[in-house]
Each structure stands twice: as structure tokens, then as C-alpha cells.
Structure 1
Amino acid sequence: MTFTVETDDRLTTVDVTDAIAASVPDDCESGTCTAFVEHTTAALVVQENEPRLRGDLESFLGDLVPDSGHAHDELDGNADSHLRAGLLGPDVTIPVADGEPALGTWQSVLLVECDGPRTRTVSVTTTEANSSH
């Protein structure tokens, strides 16, 4: 199952929790789902979906990795985006219980856009636990 996400800024976050949940089959009693963003300049993280914290995450990444001065910038000027996404990673794996991602009370899945605005594709794979064990 795949879905797309439109982003509107160079460095931003988008809550994709509901889209991931909609990708999990209702009849999956228990297992795992893995969400994977199919790009090298975007990432997925499990984090609290609170606007100030999302802003803090964006600021932190901006402060941690300078916007310019990298060798890859000679090609297309987005080395900072690759480095930021690389720090976070392209995927998250979440337990599934009763057909739903089993996230904690304050946990959401955020797509972290590092080279927007763009259209991003996220694939979700659900694996049902073997019930014979």
C-alpha cells in the first residue's frame, strides 16, 4: 500500500499517522507495519505531534546541519537535505494490535521533509504475526 504526501516548505514535518493506520488491514490481529519513505531527502520518525516540538525538531535539524558548504552541493545544492534525512532514517516499524498501529498515547508518525516542497511517496507493509506460536 502506498500514499503520497504534499509538503509546502524546504524543512518541515507532516503528520502521516492516519494514512499509515488506514494502510493496515482491519483483520490484522497482531503483527507489525513498516512505513518507508521512498526518497533520500525525507525521513520518518515516531514523535509527539505538538506544533512547538515539531518546530523544535525542524530548528534542531537546521542548526545541526548547515545549509551549505558540502561537496554534494556542487551537483544540486541539497547535501544538507540528504544529511538531515540520513540522520533520521527512511522508515519506522510499529507493532499492530487489533488492526491498528499500537502507538503510545503521545506518539505519532511524522514525515520529515528536508528538501521541499515536494510530493513524497510512503509505502506501508503489514506483516501479520504467526498465530501458531
Structure 2
Amino acid sequence: MGFSVETESRLTTVDVTDRIAAAVPDDCESGTCTAFVEHTTAGLVVQEDEPRIRGDLESFLRDLVPDEGHAHDQLDGNADSHLRASLIGPDVTIPVENGELALGTWQSVLLVECDGPRTRTVSTTIVGD
């Protein structure tokens, strides 16, 4: 199962927790859910969905990886996006308990867009016990 995510700016975050949770079948009491973003310039992270921490994450990635000055920029000008996404990673795996994602109180799944605006595809795989 998969879904699309529309992003609105070059470096941003989008909460996709509810869309991932919707992929858990009604008959799955326990197991694992893996979500995977099918792109090299976006990633997924488990983090608090709070505007200030989301802004801090974006600032952290901007500070860590400069916008320009990379060899790949000669090809299409988005090396910074590839490098930022490689730090985040393309997937998260979350336990399923009692038919629901077993996230902590403040945990959400955020798609981190590093080369937007774009349409992103997230696939989900559920493995039940």
C-alpha cells in the first residue's frame, strides 16, 4: 500500500503518521510497519510534530549541509538535497500493537522534503505476527 505527499517548499516537513497508520489492516493485532519514501532527496524520521522542532530540524540540515559547492551540482543543482536525505534515511519501522502503531506520546512520522516542492510516494509494508 502506498500514498502520495505534496510538498510546498524546498526543505520542509510533513506529518504522515495518520496515512501510515491507515495502512495497518484491521486484522493485524501485532507486528511491524515499515514505511519507505521512494526518492533519493527525501526521507522519513520519527520525531515530535511540533512547529519549533520541525523548524529546528530544517535549520539543522541547512547548517550541516551547505546549499552549494558540491560536485553533483554540475549535473542538476540538488546535491545538498541528496546529502541531507542520506543523513535522514528513506525508511522507518514501527511496532504494531493492538492493531495500532506503537508510537510514544510525542512521536510522529515526518516526511522530510529536501528538494521540493514535489510529489512524493511513500510505500508501506506490514508484517503481522
| Counterpart position of 1:53 | 53
Structure-2 separation of matches of 1:23 and 1:54: 24
Structure-2 separation of matches of 1:40 and 1:26: 32
1:70/1:80 contact within 8 Å kept: yes
Aligned Cα root-mean-square deviation (Å): 0.4
Q: How many residue pairs end up in the alignment?
A: 129
| Deviation string, structure 1 residues 31-69 (Cα, Å, up to 9, x no partner) | 000000000000000000000000000000001000000
Whether 1:104 and 2:110 are equivalent positions in the alignment is no
Q: For residue 34 of structure 2, give the secondary structure of its aligned residue in structure 1.
A: strand
| Deviation string, structure 1 residues 48-93 (Cα, Å, up to 9, x no partner) | 0000000000000001000000000000000000000000100000
Q: How does 1:84-103 map to 2 (within 5 A)?
A: 84-103=84-103
TM-score of the pair, normalised by structure 2: 0.99
Which range moved further: 34-43 or 24-33?
24-33
| Residue identity matched to 1:8 | E
Structure-2 separation of matches of 1:118 and 1:86: 18
| Counterpart position of 2:11 | 11
| Counterpart position of 1:120 | 120
Q: For residue 22 of structure 2, give the secondary structure of its aligned residue in structure 1.
A: helix
Structure-1 separation of matches of 2:64 and 2:22: 34
Instruction: Flag structure 2 segments of 5+ consecutive residues without an equivalent.
Output: none
| Counterpart position of 1:31 | 31
TM-score of the pair, normalised by structure 1: 0.96
| Residue identity matched to 2:73 | D
